Amino acid sequence: MSDPANKRAHYDGPVTERERWRNDTGNQRIYPLRQVTPTTLDQLREIVGEAESEGIAVRAVGSGHSWSDVALTDGILVRPDGLTEWLELDRTLLRAEHRDPGEDAEVTLVQVQAGMKIAELNANLQARGLALPNMGGFDGQTVAGVVSTSTHGSGIAFGPLSDLVRSLEIVAAKGAVYRIESSDGITDAAAYRARHPDRQLVQDDDWFDAAVVGVGCMGLIYSLILAVRPLFYVREKRCLSTWSRVRDELAQGSASPVLAEYAHYELLFNPYPRKDGEIECLITTREPVSPSEYRHDHRRSRSLLMELAARFPLTPILIDLAIRLWPQISPFLISRALKALVNPDYVNISYRVFNIGAANYLPAYSAEIGVPIDEGDLHLKAVEKIVDVAAERRRLGGVYHSCGISLRFVKATRSCLSMMEGHDTMMIELIMSKHTIGGYELLNAHEQALYELHGRPHWGQVNTLTGSHGLIQKMYPRYGDWQRIHEQLNASGVFDSPFSKRVGFSSATFDG
Ligand SMILES: Cc1cc2nc3c(=O)[nH]c(=O)nc-3n(C[C@H](O)[C@H](O)[C@H](O)COP(=O)(O)OP(=O)(O)OC[C@H]3O[C@@H](n4cnc5c(N)ncnc54)[C@H](O)[C@@H]3O)c2cc1C
Q: DSSP labels for 296-351?
A: H----SS-HHHHHHHHSTHHHHHHHHHHHH-GGGHHHHHHHHHHHT-EEEEEEEHH
> Using CB atoms within 10 A of its CB, is residue 163 exposed (0-12), middle (13-18) or buried (19+)?
buried
- What is residue 5's predicted lDDT score, i.e. its pLDDT? 43
Query: How does 424-441 read in b/e, with b if 16+ C-beta sit within 10 Å?
Result: bbbbbbbbbbbbbbebee
CB 465 within 8 A of CB 457: yes
Q: Residues near ligand 1 with C-beta < 6 Å? A: 24, 59-66, 70-71, 80, 114, 136-138, 141-142, 144-146, 148-149, 151-152, 215-216, 220-221, 360, 458, 460-461
Q: What is the rounded distance in angstroms from the CA atom of residue 142 to the CA atom of residue 61?
A: 9
Minimal CA–CA distance to 362: which of 461, 439, 432, 266? 432
Of ligand 1's listed atoms, the one at least distance from the Cα of 83 is 41
Distances (CA, A) of 427 to 140, 255, 382, 454: 20, 16, 10, 12
Q: What is the rounded distance in angstroms from the CA atom of residue 108 to the CA atom of residue 111?
A: 10
- Distance of CA 455 from the midpoint of ligand 1 (Å): 20
- Distance of CA 461 from the midpoint of ligand 1 (Å): 9
- Distance of CA 512 from the midpoint of ligand 1 (Å): 38
Minimal CA–CA distance to 247: which of 427, 373, 393? 373
CB 346 within 8 A of CB 390: no
- Residue closest via CA to ligand 1's atom 32 equals 145
pLDDT digits (tens, 9 = 90+) for 242-287: 999 999 999 999 999 999 999 999 999 999 999 999 999 999 999 9
- Distance of CA 508 from the midpoint of ligand 1 (Å): 26
- Distance of CA 263 from the midpoint of ligand 1 (Å): 24
Of ligand 1's listed atoms, the one at least distance from the Cα of 497 is 47
- What is residue 512's predicted lDDT score, i.e. its pLDDT? 64
> Using CB atoms within 10 A of its CB, is residue 191 exposed (0-12), middle (13-18) or buried (19+)?
middle
Q: What is the rounded distance in angstroms from the CA atom of residue 267 to the CA atom of residue 406?
A: 6
Q: What is the rounded distance in angstroms from the CA atom of residue 409 to the CA atom of residue 197?
A: 43
For the chain, residues with pLDDT lower than 50 are 1-9
Amino acid identity for residue 381 in this structure? K
- What is residue 307's predicted lDDT score, i.e. its pLDDT? 81
- Distance of CA 292 from the midpoint of ligand 1 (Å): 35
- What is residue 4's predicted lDDT score, i.e. its pLDDT? 43
Question: Best mutation site among 39, 78, 118, 142 for ligand 1, i.e. most ligand atoms within 8 A of its Cβ?
Answer: 142
Query: How does 384-399 read in b/e, with b if 16+ C-beta sit within 10 Å?
Result: ebbbebbeebbeeeeb
Of ligand 1's listed atoms, the one at least distance from the Cα of 161 is 11
pTM for the predicted model, two decimal places: 0.96
Spell out the domains of the chain, with CATH numbers in brackets. 86-230 (3.30.465.10), 233-457 (3.40.462.10)
- Residue closest via CA to ligand 1's atom 44 equals 216
Q: What is the rounded distance in angstroms from the CA atom of residue 268 to the CA atom of residue 405?
A: 5
Percentage of the chain exceeding pLDDT 70: 98
Of ligand 1's listed atoms, the one at least distance from the Cα of 148 is 34
Question: Best mutation site among 141, 419, 461 for ligand 1, i.e. most ligand atoms within 8 A of its Cβ?
Answer: 141
- Distance of CA 222 from the midpoint of ligand 1 (Å): 16
Q: What is the rounded distance in angstroms from the CA atom of residue 422 to the CA atom of residue 413?
A: 6
- What is residue 297's predicted lDDT score, i.e. its pLDDT? 87
Backbone angles phi, psi at 365, to 5 degrees: -140, 165
- Distance of CA 295 from the midpoint of ligand 1 (Å): 34
Amino acid identity for residue 310 in this structure? A
Q: What is the rounded distance in angstroms from the CA atom of residue 146 to the CA atom of residue 164?
A: 11
